[in-house]
C-alpha cells in the first residue's frame, strides 16, 4: 500500500529585489512632490511606496496547489480528471512555451522570474483550453504530486 500523498502548495513570490524597487517608487513620488514641501514629500514617499508594495504583494501572491482532487492555480480550479500527464519543462522549453510555442487559448499562470514550468494537456473534450502552463520553482515535485493524487483517486 503506498504511503500518504504529500500535498503540493507553492506561492510564486516575487524576488527580493522587487521590494527594493517598490521603495524606489516611493522615493520617485517623493521627488515628484518635492516642490510642494516636506509634508507632500513624506506623503509621496509613504503613499507611493505603499501602493507599489501592494502591487508587488498582489502579483507575488499567486499560488499553485493540488488538493481535494483539483489543481488550484491562481483563480482557476481544474479537476484532475480533466488533466493529462504533466510535462516538466526545462528553462529553454519554459521560454519557448511562453513565447513562440504558446497557444492563446491556453491557461497560463506565468511568472517571468521563475525559470521552470510544467505544461499539462487538458483532456476534457468540452473544454477549448488545450493545456495549462504553470510557472513553478519545483516542476518535478508538482508533476509527482499530480501523478500521485491521480493514482490514489483511481
The yes-or-no verdict on residue 2 having pLDDT over 60 is no
Same domain membership, residue 88 and residue 128: yes
Is residue 22 in a domain?
Answer: yes
55 and 16 part of one domain: yes
Q: What is the pLDDT of residues 22-79, one digit of tens each?
A: 999 999 999 999 999 999 999 999 999 999 999 999 999 999 999 888 999 999 999 9
- Predicted pLDDT of residue 123: 93
Q: Which of 77, 71, 34 has its CA nearest to residue 148?
A: 71
Grid cell in block for residue 21:
524597487
For Cα atoms 33, 39, 43, give the angle at the middle one, nearest 5 degrees. 65
CA 141 to chain centre: 15
Within a domain: 21: yes
Identify whether residues 116 and 144 lie together within a single domain: yes
Question: What per-residue confidence (pLDDT) applies to 69?
Answer: 85
Whether residue 94 is found in the same domain as residue 135: yes
- pLDDT at residue 148, rounded to an integer: 87
For residue range 106-147, list pLDDT tens digits in order.
999 999 999 999 999 999 999 999 999 999 999 999 999 998
Q: In this structure, are 33 and 86 located in the same domain? A: no
Beta bridge partners of 83: 122
Q: Which residues constitute the domain of residue 34?
A: 12-59
Q: Is 1 part of any domain?
A: no
Residue 152 reports pLDDT greater than 80: no
pTM over 0.85: no
Are 54 and 90 in a shared domain? no
Residues 116 and 148 grouped into a single domain: yes
Region of residue 78 (phi > 0: left; psi between -120 and 50: alpha; otherwise: beta): beta
Q: Are residues 90 and 142 in the same domain?
A: yes
The pLDDT, as a whole number, for residue 153 is: 64
Same domain, 148 and 88: yes
Q: Are residues 146 and 82 in the same domain?
A: yes
> Does residue 95 sit in the same domain as residue 125?
yes
Burial class (CB in 10 A: 0-12, 13-18, 19+), 10: buried
Residue partners of 78: CB distance under 8 A and separation at least 6: 70, 71, 72, 107, 122, 132
Task: Identify whether residues 93 and 54 lie together within a single domain.
Answer: no
Place of cell 509527482: 144
Domain count, the chain: 2
The partner residues of 72 in beta bridges, in order of sequence, read 65, 77
Amino acid at each position: 500500500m503506498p504511503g500518504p500523498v504529500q500535498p503540493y502548495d507553492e506561492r510564486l513570490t516575487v524576488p527580493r529585489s522587487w521590494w527594493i524597487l517598490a521603495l524606489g517608487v516611493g522615493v520617485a513620488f517623493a521627488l515628484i512632490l518635492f516642490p510642494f514641501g516636506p509634508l507632500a514629500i513624506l506623503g509621496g514617499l509613504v503613499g507611493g511606496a505603499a501602493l507599489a508594495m501592494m502591487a508587488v504583494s498582489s502579483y507575488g501572491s499567486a499560488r499553485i496547489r493540488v488538493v481535494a482532487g483539483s489543481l488550484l492555480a491562481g483563480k482557476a480550479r481544474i479537476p484532475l480528471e480533466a488533466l493529462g500527464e504533466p510535462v516538466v519543462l526545462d528553462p529553454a522549453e519554459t521560454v519557448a512555451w511562453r513565447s513562440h510555442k504558446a497557444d492563446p487559448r491556453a491557461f497560463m499562470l506565468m511568472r517571468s522570474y521563475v525559470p521552470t514550468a510544467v505544461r499539462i494537456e487538458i483532456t476534457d473534450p468540452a473544454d477549448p483550453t488545450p493545456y495549462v502552463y504553470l510557472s513553478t520553482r519545483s516542476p518535478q515535485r508538482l508533476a509527482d504530486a499530480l501523478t500521485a493524487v491521480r493514482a490514489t483517486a483511481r
